[in-house]
Amino acid sequence: MTGEKKEADALQNAPECCDSDVDAILAEVHNTERKGIGMLSKRKASDYKKYLPSLVSFVLLIAGIIADNAFDSDFFKGPIRLLWYGVAYLPVGLPVLRKGFVLITRGKVFTEFFLMSVATIGAFFIGEYPEGVAVMLFYTIGELFQDDAVDKAKRSIKALLDIRPRVANVMRGGNYTSVSPEEVLIGEVILIKAGEQVALDGVMLSDRGAFNTSALTGESRPSTIARGEPVLAGMVNTGKVTEVKIIRKYEDSSLAKILYLVQEATQKKAPTEQFIRKFAKIYTPIVVYLAIALVFLPYFFAETYVFEDWLYRGMIFLVISCPCAFVISIPLGYFGGIGAASRHGVLFKGSNYLDLITKIDTVVMDKTGTLTKGVFRIKKIDSGLFDETEFMKLVGALESHSTHPIARAVTEYTGRLDLPYQVVDVEESAGHGLSGTVNGKNVLAGNQRLLEQYNIDIDQPDERIVDTVVYVAIDHRYAGYFTVADEIKEDALQTVKSLHALGIRDVIMLSGDHEEVVREVATELGLTTAYGGLLPEDKVEKVASLKAEGGRTIAAVGDGINDAPILAMADIGIAMGGLGSDAAIETADVILQTDQPSKLLTAISIGKATRRIVWQNIGLAFGVKLVVLVLGAFGLATMWEAVFADVGVALLAILNAVRLQRMEWE
Percent helix, percent strand, percent coil in the chain, to nearest 5 = 55, 15, 30
**pLDDT band at 188; cut points 50, 70, 90:** very high
The Cα–Cα gap between 352 and 45 comes to 35
What is the per-residue pLDDT for 69?
80
What is the per-residue pLDDT for 159?
53
Residue 306: inside a domain, yes or no? yes
What is the per-residue pLDDT for 334?
81
Q: Does 399 share its domain with 276?
A: no
- Average pLDDT value for residue range 640-656: 77
Of the ranges 9-13, 51-55, 142-146, 456-460, which is most confident?
A: 51-55
% of the chain at pLDDT higher than 90: 16
What is the per-residue pLDDT for 28?
36
Pairing of strands 506-510, 529-531: parallel
- Average pLDDT value for residue range 186-199: 88
User: One of 147, 366, 559, 595 is an active-site residue; which one?
Assistant: 366
Residue 203: CATH number of its domain = 2.70.150.10
| Least reliable range by pLDDT among 268-272, 367-371, 597-601 | 268-272
- Pick the residue with more confidence: 624 or 21? 624
pLDDT at 236 over 70: yes
pLDDT at 333 over 60: yes
Q: Does 387 share its domain with 480?
A: yes
The Cα–Cα gap between 324 and 497 comes to 42
Among 234, 252, 249, 237, smallest CA distance to 342 is for 234
- Pick the residue with more confidence: 129 or 581? 129
Q: Does 329 share its domain with 391?
A: no
Indicate the residue among 485, 501, 533 that finishes a domain.
485
Q: Does 28 share its domain with 143?
A: yes
- Pick the residue with more confidence: 479 or 167? 479
- Pick the residue with more confidence: 422 or 320? 422
- Pick the residue with more confidence: 161 or 369? 369
What is the per-residue pLDDT for 554?
92
% of the chain at pLDDT higher than 70: 78
Which alpha helices (DSSP H) does 212-270 contain, by range? 214-217, 254-265
pLDDT per residue as tens digits for the range 452-503: 888 988 877 666 666 778 999 999 999 999 988 878 888 999 999 999 998 8
Indicate the residue among 485, 502, 523 that finishes a domain.
485
Pairing of strands 362-366, 554-558: parallel
- Pick the residue with more confidence: 102 or 324? 102
Note if 355 is an active site residue. Answer: no
Q: Does 225 share its domain with 318?
A: no
pLDDT at 582 over 70: no
Residue 626: inside a domain, yes or no? yes
- Phi, psi dihedral angles at 661 (to 5 degrees): -80, -10
- How many domains does the chain fold into? 3
What is the per-residue pLDDT for 421?
82
Residue 632: inside a domain, yes or no? yes
**pLDDT band at 436; cut points 50, 70, 90:** very high
Residue 501: inside a domain, yes or no? no
Q: Does 427 share its domain with 455?
A: yes
Q: Does 298 share its domain with 252?
A: no
What is the per-residue pLDDT for 287?
76
At residue 317, the 3 state secondary structure works out as: helix
pLDDT per residue as tens digits for the range 254-311: 666 655 655 554 455 556 556 656 666 677 778 778 888 888 998 888 888 888 888 8
Q: Does 271 share its domain with 259?
A: no
**pLDDT band at 442; cut points 50, 70, 90:** very high
The Cα–Cα gap between 176 and 242 comes to 13
The Cα–Cα gap between 78 and 75 comes to 8
Average pLDDT, the chain: 78
Q: Does 402 share its domain with 454?
A: yes
**pLDDT band at 341; cut points 50, 70, 90:** confident
Residue 550: inside a domain, yes or no? no
Q: Does 123 share its domain with 194?
A: no
Residue 186: inside a domain, yes or no? yes
Residue 431: CATH number of its domain = 3.40.1110.10
Q: In what order do the strands lie in the sheet with 441-446?
A: 377-382, 477-485, 468-474, 441-446, 433-438, 423-429
Whether the CB-CB separation of 234 and 163 falls below 8 Å is answered with: yes
In this structure, the number of other CB atoms found within 10 A of the CB of residue 290 comes to 17
At residue 638, the 3 state secondary structure works out as: coil
Whether the CB-CB separation of 559 and 366 falls below 8 Å is answered with: yes
pLDDT at 87 over 90: yes
The Cα–Cα gap between 389 and 369 comes to 29
| 617: Cβ contacts below 8 Å, ≥ 6 apart | 325, 326, 329, 330, 333, 653, 656, 657
Residue 589: inside a domain, yes or no? no
Residue 596: inside a domain, yes or no? no
**This prediction's pTM:** 0.61
Indicate the residue among 485, 505, 521 that finishes a domain.
485
Domain with 399, as residue range(s), is 377-485
| 331: Cβ contacts below 8 Å, ≥ 6 apart | 21, 22, 23, 269, 273, 351
Of the ranges 222-231, 387-396, 418-427, which is most confident?
A: 387-396
Q: Does 255 share its domain with 147?
A: no
pLDDT per residue as tens digits for the range 104-128: 888 777 777 777 788 788 778 878 8
Q: Does 283 share its domain with 248?
A: no
Provide the Cα torsion 646, 652, 657, 660; round to 10°.
180
